[in-house]
Chain A
Amino acid sequence: MKADSRSLIGGRFARNFGRGWLLAVFFFLYLPIFTLIAYSFNNSPLPTVWGGFTLNWYVKLASDREILSGLWLSLKIAFLSASASVVLGTLAAFTLVKYRRFGGRTLFSGMVSAPLVMPEVIIGLALLLMLVAVQRATGSDLFDRGMMTIWLGHLLLGMAYATVVIQARLIDLNPQLEEAAMDLGAKPFQVFALITLPLILQALASAWLLTFSLSLDDVVISAFLSGPGSTTMPLVIFSRARLGLNPSVNAVATVIIAVVAVCVTVGSVLIARAERRRAAEINAAQRGGG
């Protein structure tokens, strides 16, 4: 039973202060985003001077081969790394939740969560050095700097995030559900496929989306691990941004923001609607008695 929080945290002053603070921080968070969008329509070579409304930059974007090929590569890598991250993340999450005691558990737990906070320059450097060493030792060019190596780097990062998301869901899952399934005759793999998997599906989906967007956005690890011909979109944008302000970047930014905003909003609305329907059903059942 939740107490009425508002009377506990303070009167009108506190409430107005709270609203003000929330608004101020939201303003801080969204200001850059709005300026990006606004200046993408700016008809002026200087991004900070307004010269009139134009769709020029978007037209130019359509034929900007560098960005488009970078985008295509990034999408491919993001898709593959998200998928692999979810698989490895599921295995790691299972290990951490189900198996309380096994040799080297602390080490495993440390290795899984370290990439979450480790500075990317370290991860990028370390991975590259190892891949070079492997390349020298085996003489194979499987690990040549390119899409494959970038994928490996993103996978290392993605697995950490995926594990956190999936682990949180697994901890919440009632262990008696899996026991019940076994009791009724399901063998361990059947338990996983028929009971566990459907119930953690939503967590798997959000882990996938999270690691997808992380991969799409990654600069440092991609820089260390990319080779000629494998320039991802963030690297293209980064090199342009280093040189100065560039309206073509604004155009790309707006497109990305629009796509993300639409997806997130639609997704949230759908989820909220399903939640409300479910809550109504539970209410109805409780009132019905029986």
Chain B
Amino acid sequence: MAAYLSVEDVVKDFSGVKAVNHVSLDINKGEIFALLGSSGCGKTTLLRMLAGFEAPSSGRIVLDGTDLAEMEPYSRPINMMFQSYALFPHLSVWENIAFGLKREGMAKPKIAERVDAMLKLVQLGGYAQRKPHQLSGGQQQRVALARSLAKAPQLLLLDEPLGALDKKLREETQIELTNIIRNVGVTCVMVTHDQEEAMTMATRIAVMSEGRILQVGAPAEVYETPATRFVADFIGNVNLMDGTLTVDQPDHCVIECADCKHYVGHGITGTEGMTVSVAIRPEKIHLSRHAPPDEFNRACGTVKAMAYFGSFTVYHLALASGAALKVSVNNLQRHRDDEIVAGDTVWAHWSRNAHVVLTQ
């Protein structure tokens, strides 16, 4: 089945600099797709090409079978919610939402009906006559959302939707926003530099860097099975250790690093003797005062620093070779008799399935 939105080998060249460098994506109908990357990676340029504010230097963008190259932003069945909300300051909330409907020549009674439905959707029923400056930040965002959904677009674009909100508001809004979008059922492409935002809201994520797509997949997939060192490091926290592949069997392999030996519970494609990287997430590592029995998957180190986050603590260990290891431990009990403190020598150990082996 052909994808609903298909980006085909798109390049965007700004006087020699390739902001978007041969990007191809297939986005399915009804999914929330996130473009994740730090500033300058090309995600916003790509979004603007979908909206029609930039034209690709080469490549095609096809939405539901129609090639968008022919279409100006005002003719596309695509609507965008801007980072600054871009609510028209001189128009009321009602006028803002009705703006797009009036442009397409909808009949007055139908416009009224539709605007009311949108206001109800974002729960701003009594606010129709207010002006944007009379609304709080969260309310403005809801108006912006209602306005971008009013025309029932085939594709909804979100530009850093939660960027302007503070942390508490962000958590609540994340859930609300996702629910509304899923209820409406519209296909959505969002752009963000915030991994939390991408992982909680999206059905699939594309990690971008320097104009290229590094990995596409569901949040869990990208987090637990990163395809490259960059992705592993970019999403969440990770410990990366370089080592040599000494044993390579179909059902397991062994990688020797400076401070430890890894026994990985699955085979990998590689040749014995090659250099690989092993990625282990901090939460997959456990600490104990005594050496664990298994000679694999353990390392000894000194606690150099601790960061207390309330629900969990991150320990920064210095291993024998000088390398650092980050371990995240949930604070399951309110008080422990045997608290690990800075300066202690401890053993870190992990299971046979905790690793991701990376060759690039």
Interface residues of chain A, those whose CB is within 8 Å of chain B, are 174, 176-177, 179-187, 190, 194-195, 198-199, 278, 281-282, 284-286, 288-290
Please tell me if the beta carbons of B89 and A199 are within 8 angstroms of each other in the complex.
yes
> Which of chain B's residues have a CB closer than 8 A to the CB of A177?
86, 88-89
Besides the contacts A179-B73, A183-B80, what 13 more A-B pairs have beta carbons closer than 8 Å? Answer: A174-B84, A174-B86, A177-B88, A179-B86, A182-B73, A184-B100, A194-B99, A199-B89, A281-B133, A285-B135, A286-B137, A290-B136, A290-B139
Please tell me if the beta carbons of B104 and A285 are within 8 angstroms of each other in the complex.
no
Partner of B133, one of A184, A198, A199, A285: A285
Please tell me if the beta carbons of A179 and B133 are within 8 angstroms of each other in the complex.
no
Task: Give the distance to chain A from B111, nearest Cβ to Cβ, in Å.
Answer: 13
A179 to B136, CA, bound (A): 23
If A278-B133, A285-B135 touch, whether A190 touches B82 (CB-CB below 8 Å) is no
B154 within 8 A of A: no
B230 within 8 A of A: no
If A176-B84, A179-B86, A199-B90 touch, whether A187 touches B139 (CB-CB below 8 Å) is no
A118 to B139, CA, bound (A): 51
Task: Give the distance to chain A from B50, nearest Cβ to Cβ, in Å.
Answer: 11
> Which of chain A's residues have a CB closer than 8 A to the CB of B136?
285-286, 288-290
Closest to B80 in A: A183
Please tell me if the beta carbons of B133 and A180 are within 8 angstroms of each other in the complex.
no
Please tell me if the beta carbons of A179 and B53 are within 8 angstroms of each other in the complex.
yes
What are 17 A-B pairs at a CB distance below 8 A? A176-B84, A179-B51, A180-B82, A182-B73, A183-B80, A184-B74, A184-B79, A184-B151, A185-B74, A185-B75, A186-B103, A187-B72, A278-B133, A285-B136, A285-B139, A288-B136, A289-B138
B147 within 8 A of A: yes
Please tell me if the beta carbons of B51 and A281 are within 8 angstroms of each other in the complex.
no
Task: Give the distance to chain B from A156, nearest Cβ to Cβ, in Å.
Answer: 33
> Which of chain A's residues have a CB closer than 8 A to the CB of B133?
278, 281-282, 285
Closest to B150 in A: A184
A186 to B104, CA, bound (A): 9
Please tell me if the beta carbons of B80 and A180 are within 8 angstroms of each other in the complex.
yes
Closest to B78 in A: A183
Closest to B100 in A: A184
> Which of chain A's residues have a CB closer than 8 A to the CB of B135?
285, 290
> Which of chain B's residues have a CB closer than 8 A to the CB of A278?
133
Interface size range on B against A: 20 to 34
A195 to B103, CA, bound (A): 13
Tally A-B pairs: CB < 8 A: 79
Task: Give the distance to chain B from A288, nearest Cβ to Cβ, in Å.
Answer: 6
Task: Give the distance to chain B from A179, nearest Cβ to Cβ, in Å.
Answer: 6
Please tell me if the beta carbons of A180 and B86 are within 8 angstroms of each other in the complex.
yes
> Which of chain B's residues have a CB closer than 8 A to the CB of A288?
136
Contact with A along B39-60 (1 / 0, CB 8 A): 0000000000001110000000
- Per the 8 Å Cβ criterion, residues 68-95 of B in contact with A are 72-75, 78-80, 82-84, 86, 88-90
A176 to B99, CA, bound (A): 15
Closest to B77 in A: A185
The 3 residue pairs across chains A and B that have the minimum distance between CB atoms: A184-B100, A185-B103, A180-B86
> Which of chain A's residues have a CB closer than 8 A to the CB of B103?
184-186, 190
Interface centre among B84, B103, B148 (most CB of A within 10 A): B103
Please tell me if the beta carbons of B79 and A198 are within 8 angstroms of each other in the complex.
no
B134 within 8 A of A: yes
A199 to B89, CA, bound (A): 8
> Which of chain B's residues have a CB closer than 8 A to the CB of A195?
88
If A190-B103, A282-B133, A288-B136 touch, whether A185 touches B151 (CB-CB below 8 Å) is yes
Task: Give the distance to chain A from B104, nearest Cβ to Cβ, in Å.
Answer: 6
Please tell me if the beta carbons of B74 and A183 are within 8 angstroms of each other in the complex.
yes
> Which of chain B's residues have a CB closer than 8 A to the CB of A194?
99
- Per the 8 Å Cβ criterion, residues 165-180 of B in contact with A are none
Task: Give the distance to chain B from A102, nearest Cβ to Cβ, in Å.
Answer: 16
Task: Give the distance to chain A from B122, nearest Cβ to Cβ, in Å.
Answer: 11
- Per the 8 Å Cβ criterion, residues 116-174 of B in contact with A are 131, 133-139, 147-148, 151
Closest to A197 in B: B90
A195 to B86, CA, bound (A): 11
A194 to B98, CA, bound (A): 13
